[in-house]
Amino acid sequence: MNHNINNILIIHTHGGLGDLLLSTPVFHSLKAEFPHAKITAMVKKSFVDVVSGNPKIDNIIPIPPDMCEGFKRFGEQRKMILEGKYDMAIVLWSTAREAYLTYLSGIPIRVGQAGRLLYSFMFTHKVTRRSDKGDEESHWVENQLDFVRSPGIEPRDKSIFFHIPEKAKEFIDKLLKEEGVKEDDFLIGFHSTKGLAVDGKRWPVKKFASFARGLAERFDAKVVFTGSPSEKDLVEEIRSHVPAPSLSVAGRTDIKQMGALIKRCRLFVCPDSGPMHIAAALKTPVVGIYGLKEDYPKRWAPYDCEHEIVRLDKIPCSQKCIKADCPRFSCYEAIPDDMVIDSAVKLMNRIGK
């Protein structure tokens, strides 16, 4: 590999919070290979805080929503790329837009996804995702690191990283104090949603409430519910069925503040979601609930942290998994409460907490 690389652009403008966080080993491995190169992350504006504060990333370019789909404001984004004078571009979630952007910007080394008839030919290095070949075993981190391996670089730093600024810690300390949480309280973080556009009529509200209630009783703990502003009402509905001491910060924290809260927790319990991967990055023990057929627990497991996986041997659904359009989420309803609670006990016993 030619080491005369001074400017590297990594584009990740699609996918969710967890996708981006699990891509941080790409930045870390490139910085290890090219320590003097300037590494720029081009990411969705709403996810800038996922990577901000990362010492391996020198510059972040936020991309607004209307630059992420189709070809709107294409010339404006291409100008941003041309100004960077990049020697290498890695597109971690390829679409035709990113392929044309890197190609028409004349970047010498362009790494992107293979198998796309209309645009893969524009990449100088083409990556066939393991998941595209039916691989459900490899972790998503390894899927992403194949984009580093493609031009001949062996990854040397596979760690994921999430930075918590001091002001976020102070915000959470103050919030918890106002809510009556003491330093020695056993605090369980509970993310009871999955980022889907669902309401209490379709989401298994009472089942998730039952999980939270059982955990609170077993550990004599206070449960803190997390969630986005759009999930606030759903979280409150779930919480209304939990008689144990609890509080909700849904809609009250930004990404960094949520990280600071998760760091304060002794345990974090949730379906496969972005907050779960934040917890893993912060080394907070995680119980991950993988109810849906398409959750792929090995691919999306909490990475490099103490964790337990809750997964039924047989998912009680005969239909194709349609996630956001599912009318009943019987997969979650079928998970016994004891399965979640026993996993949490096993995890806490193993780590001696």
Distance, in Å, from the CA atom of 21 to the CA atom of 178, rounded to the nearest integer, reads 31
pLDDT, position 142: 97
Residues forming CATH 3.40.50.2000 domain(s) in the chain: 7-149, 166-351
Distance, in Å, from the CA atom of 205 to the CA atom of 283, rounded to the nearest integer, reads 28
CATH number of 7-149: 3.40.50.2000
**For 230, phi and psi rounded to 5 degrees?**
-70, -15
Distance, in Å, from the CA atom of 349 to the CA atom of 346, rounded to the nearest integer, reads 5
Distance, in Å, from the CA atom of 239 to the CA atom of 236, rounded to the nearest integer, reads 5
Q: Which CATH class is domain 166-351?
A: alpha beta
Sign of CA dihedral 314, 315, 318, 321: negative
Residue written as token pair 């990283």: 161
DSSP 125: E
**Can you state the angle between helices 74-84 and 96-104, rounded to 10 degrees?**
50
| Burial category of 350 from C-beta neighbours within 10 Å (exposed 0-12, middle 13-18, buried 19 and up) | exposed
Is the distance from CB of 109 to CB of 8 less than 8 angstroms? Answer: no
Amino acid (one-letter) located at 309: I
Residue written as token pair 């209630």: 213
For 216, the token pair is: 């609170």
For 118, the token pair is: 């209309």
pLDDT, position 339: 97
pLDDT, position 321: 74
Assign 9 to helix, strand or coil: strand
Which residues touch 336 (CB under 8 Å, ≥6 apart)? none
What's the average pLDDT block by block, 10 residues per block, for the chain (353 residues)?
85 95 98 97 98 98 92 95 97 95 97 96 96 93 97 95 98 96 95 86 93 96 95 94 92 97 98 96 98 92 97 84 78 95 97 83
pLDDT, position 58: 98
The residues pairing with 226 across neighbouring beta strands, listed in sequence order, are 191
The residues pairing with 109 across neighbouring beta strands, listed in sequence order, are 88
pLDDT, position 3: 64
Distance, in Å, from the CA atom of 228 to the CA atom of 251, rounded to the nearest integer, reads 5
